[in-house]
Each structure stands twice: as C-alpha cells, then as structure tokens.
Amino acid sequence: TAVAVGVEPENRLPYNEYYEYFGPDYTLHIAPSNMENQNSPRDLERM
C-alpha cells in the first residue's frame, strides 16, 4: 500500500500481534543473511 501511494514507511515497527516475527531487530527492513532457505516449493504454492 505504501508503494501505491508513494509513501516510504518507517523502518521501526509499532508493537502489534506479529511483532515477534520481526525479531531480533524488530524493523521492517531486514538485513540479508546466509541462512539456508528451508521453504519448499509446496509450501510456497500454498501461500
């Protein structure tokens, strides 16, 4: 939605029910890592 209206959202996230999913930094933009992608094609198709 932000892109559609030309607004750059803040990087710092307000507390909400999904806040823990963004840890440990709790920011919108996450730093890339070398963590192995464990999403299977089947899991991605179900999204």
Contacts for 25 with CB less than 8 Å, ≥ 6 apart: 31
**Residue ranges of domains in the chain:** 1-30
Question: What's the pLDDT at 33?
Answer: 85
**pLDDT 10s digits, 14-36:** 899 999 988 888 888 878 889 89
Question: What's the pLDDT at 23?
Answer: 85
Q: How many CA atoms lie within 13 A of 20 on its CB side?
A: 1
Report CA torsion sign: 2, 12, 20, 30: positive
Closest Cα to residue 28, out of 38, 18, 39, 42? 18
Task: State yes or no: pLDDT of 47 exceeds 90.
Answer: no
Global pTM exceeds 0.85:
no
